[in-house]
Amino acid sequence: MGRSNVGKSSLINALVRQRVARTSAAPGKTRLANFYRVQRGSVPALYLVDLPGYGYARGGDASAREFNRLTEAYFERGLGIGDQGSVGTLRSSQSPTPDPRSPVSIGVLLLVDARHPGLDTDLDAWAWLKSQPCARAVVGTKADKLTRAERARHARKLESVFDSPVPLVSAETGEGLDELWKLIARLPNPRTAA
Ligand code: GTP
Ligand code: MG
């Protein structure tokens, strides 16, 4: 999850090395929760879920509220998948859906633009995410847009405002993606982290 235009859909494409998620230079592109089933090597299959962004909506406030409602509904239902089995209700029609009978662990990545550490909307999202019963991590996107000096400075600032490690990634250059896969693999169950 993350602000509109932060690069959520692009990052999914970069992680799976295919253009599966639609992206756009204009914010407000992704309008439904889209599930992408990923099978890598011998690791059990997982779903990458692309959510609409917050903080922008072409239709103004009413539309922005609808995005927020959709995202919150995803979490409320998605996190309760074991009892409700309703995680698929917000899927896009083309996307495969997790089997609601399977046990599922959910980890959430909050994507923030590495150029803009500590925006209020991102801090609010992080505070809300910390109140949810799920594993979570912050990731800084568009690292290719930072100079080397900015990179070090912004990384420190990000880690300080989120009080958490914040790896930097670039969907454009592929920087940080191997590390991000490792983070994703251990996220739902941090105790198994290497
Ligand atoms: P919404 O669906 O509107 O919430 O946006 P999103 O977060 O999915 O963003 P999206 O992936 O559509 O990318 C938005 C814009 O940022 C596009 O023009 C992308 O090409 C650009 N972008 C995404 N990731 C990167 C990156 O790592 N580096 C650079 N330079 N541009 C990026
Ligand atoms: Mg998107």
Residue-wise pLDDT tens digits, 21-75: 999 998 888 888 899 999 887 777 889 999 888 876 555 666 566 666 666 666 6
Distance 59 CA to ligand 2 centre (A): 16
Is the C-beta atom of 7 inside 6 A of ligand 1? yes
* pLDDT range class, residue 78, cuts 50, 70, 90: low
Domain contains 144: yes
pLDDT surpasses 60 at 14? yes
* pLDDT range class, residue 108, cuts 50, 70, 90: very high
Distance 182 CA to ligand 2 centre (A): 22
d(CA 80, CA 122): 24
Residue-wise pLDDT tens digits, 87-99: 333 333 344 555 5
Domain contains 3: no
Domain contains 194: no
Instruction: Give which of 151, 163, 167 is closest to 123, Cα–Cα.
Output: 163
CB hemisphere CA count around 93 (13 angstroms) = 0
Is the C-beta atom of 167 inside 6 A of ligand 1? no
Is the C-beta atom of 13 inside 6 A of ligand 1? no
Domain contains 192: no
Domain with 99 in it: 8-186
Instruction: Give which of 39, 33, 16 is closest to 77, Cα–Cα.
Output: 33
Are 59 and 9 in contact, with CB atoms under 8 Å apart? no
Number of structural domains (the chain) is 1
Q: Which residues surround ligand 2, an ion (CB under 5 A)?
A: 8-9, 29-30
Is the C-beta atom of 170 inside 6 A of ligand 1? yes
Q: Residue 177: is it exposed, middle or buried by C-beta count within 10 angstroms (0-12/13-18/19+)?
A: middle
d(CA 176, CA 139): 10
CATH number at residue 54: 3.40.50.300
Taking each continuous run of H as one helix and of E as one strand, the counts in the chain are 6, 4
Domain contains 33: yes
